[in-house]
Structure 1
Amino acid sequence: MKNSTISFIGAGNMATSLIKGLLKEGYLAKNIWATNNNLAQLNKLKRLNINLSADNRCAVKMADIVILAVKPQVLKSVVTEIADLIRENKPLVISIAVGINLKSLQNYLSNETAALIRCMPNTPALLACGATGLFANRYCSSAQKNAAELIFRSVGIVVCLAEEEQIDIVAALSGSGPAYFFLLMEVLQLAGIELGLSKENAALLTLQTALGAARMANESKQSIQQLKQNVTSPGGTTERALEILDNAHFPDLIKQAIKGAKERAEELAKCF
């Protein structure tokens, strides 16, 4: 894997995070390429000492693994430009473009037997604590699947999916998930302020509580349900708060929101 050449087509925030993760894991800078038509964006990566180019074809010619890290609306034109090289050299192609399924990617490549992997990382990958859903088509070898997992494990955890359709669930759950937690944290802070805390104290208490709860859920051998129960004393403040949330159908609202996000992901796939 560490002798493979990896070419990132697109050098935005997610690509940059993956490159940094690979370098931190000991991957050689000389084996990494990144392209972008924005020279200012490329210049930001100079300090990483990787290979940089504004020419996608140049980077793909060298690649054992091609990571498509461009916006969905430009993916078709980008892939069409390099399709002949993909067909000739047969690298593993990994797409992190939202909403574009592997069938569409096969059509762009004019290649039904290309080794393709579709991934859905989330923004905490920018801090190397992300969560990625990964689906590989049947033309990927075990070595190629392992290579893809290693790449995304450099920025967090990886969940391998049995069906491509599950990517839409991942998009709704963990892809959009940080926004759900940010919303809850925002509301907690506002509630604290409205009840009399300073903005600074409300923010500090909210952030540390979120961090602590996440760490307990991650490290404890107890279930999340049990951890919740441990905080909920009969007749106490937590029980009152949870009753109010339950009476307002808060759990059902969350489920509806995730279902709506999944449906939107499915709708977006039909646009490409």
Structure 2
Amino acid sequence: MTQRIAILGAGVMGETLLSAILDSGHPVDALVISEKRAERADELRSTYGVSVTGNAEAVADADVVLLVVKPQDVPALLDEIAPSVRPSATVVSLAAGIRIEAMASALPDGVAVVRAMPNTPALVGEGMFGVSPGPDVTAEQLAAVVSLLESGGRVVVVDESRQDAVTAVSGSGPAYVFYLAEAMIAGGMAEGLDAETARTLAAQTLVGAAKLLSESDATAEELRRRVTSPNGTTHAAIVTFDERGVKDGLVAGVAAAAARSAELSGPA
């Protein structure tokens, strides 16, 4: 039986999930997205042929409800949809820092709640989602959520207590990679490359290395060692990175991101 999906929020991530779910073969007549702006609603209908409604109407018949709005907008949205959510529905929040307990307390008793952390590579179908099910989520409901999000990338299931770590590694992680790319491009230009060539070299190197890491059974450390010949060019770079504290700085940065995520989420 085809599940009915409601996506609340027609911003970049909301549209990304809409497109990915439709591309996965989900029938358009079993999917609805909410949008208050008439011009934007018309654009979505024209582009995807999807039904566009208000929030309460969108969730009334939905089996799975995806909340794809800013964190500060979630409390008011939950209050708005609570009277209309089906008792058998699964509500999934993709808003950073919104705890399962807070969502569950705003919804009718028994409604299954899932917390998910996406990242921006979902825009190109290579997203990473960290998913945490609430206590009322069945194995079947969790599998349905995982299947939906896999249309936009990969999914790992973690205990909610690990969501701050997920946020620090993959939620914020694309920025770390772009930061590294900035440095690689700047270094290449300093050595005489033009900006376009340096960008192409850095971007494809990151794509290839990420694919190799994803598809290999070897650890990141082992893969790095395979490229690092003793006293070679890569060795010279790695020694310099270690002398400058690059690795320690990145590890500390992840810890700082996790701590900030915990602060923004509020008390457990």
**Structure 2 residue aligned with 1:221:** 217
**Structure 2 residue aligned with 1:39:** 38
**Structure 2 residue aligned with 1:94:** 92
Asked whether the 8 Å contact 2:213–2:223 carries over to 1, the reply is yes
1:193 counterpart letter in structure 2: M
Say whether residues 1:204 and 2:175 are aligned partners. no
Asked whether the 8 Å contact 1:149–1:158 carries over to 2, the reply is yes
Asked whether the 8 Å contact 1:68–1:95 carries over to 2, the reply is yes
Once residues 29 and 68 of structure 2 are traced to their aligned partners in structure 1, the CA distance between those partners, rounded to angstroms, is 20
Say whether residues 1:261 and 2:257 are aligned partners. yes
Structure 1, 116-125 or 10-19: larger mean CA deviation:
10-19
Query: Once the two structures are superposed, what CA deviation does each residue of 1:129-167 show, in whole Å capped at 9, x if it has no partner?
Result: 111000111211121111100000101110011x21211
The offset of 1:119, in angstroms, is: 0.5
The offset of 1:196, in angstroms, is: 1.3
Once residues 122 and 40 of structure 1 are traced to their aligned partners in structure 2, the CA distance between those partners, rounded to angstroms, is 27
Percent of aligned pairs with the same amino acid: 33
3-state DSSP class of the match of 1:98? coil
**Structure 2 residue aligned with 1:76:** 75
Unaligned runs of 5+ in 2: none
**Structure 2 residue aligned with 1:20:** 19
Asked whether the 8 Å contact 1:61–1:89 carries over to 2, the reply is no
2:223 counterpart letter in structure 1: L
TM-score after normalising by structure 1: 0.93
**Structure 2 residue aligned with 1:238:** 234
Once residues 42 and 189 of structure 2 are traced to their aligned partners in structure 1, the CA distance between those partners, rounded to angstroms, is 43
Equivalent of residue 140 in structure 1, options 133, 137, 142: 137
Unaligned runs of 5+ in 1: none
Mapping of residues 167-182 of structure 1, within 5 Å: 167-182=163-178
The offset of 1:90, in angstroms, is: 3.3
Q: CA RMSD in A?
A: 1.6
Once residues 267 and 32 of structure 2 are traced to their aligned partners in structure 1, the CA distance between those partners, rounded to angstroms, is 30
Once residues 160 and 142 of structure 1 are traced to their aligned partners in structure 2, the CA distance between those partners, rounded to angstroms, is 12
3-state DSSP class of the match of 1:37? coil
Query: Once the two structures are superposed, what CA deviation does each residue of 1:16-71 show, in whole Å capped at 9, x if it has no partner?
Result: 11111111111100000000222333233122111111x21111112111111111
3-state DSSP class of the match of 1:4? coil
Asked whether the 8 Å contact 2:130–2:166 carries over to 1, the reply is yes
Say whether residues 1:123 and 2:120 are aligned partners. yes
1:101 counterpart letter in structure 2: R
2:115 counterpart letter in structure 1: R
**Structure 2 residue aligned with 1:152:** 149
Equivalent of residue 105 in structure 1, options 103, 106, 112: 103
3-state DSSP class of the match of 2:39? helix
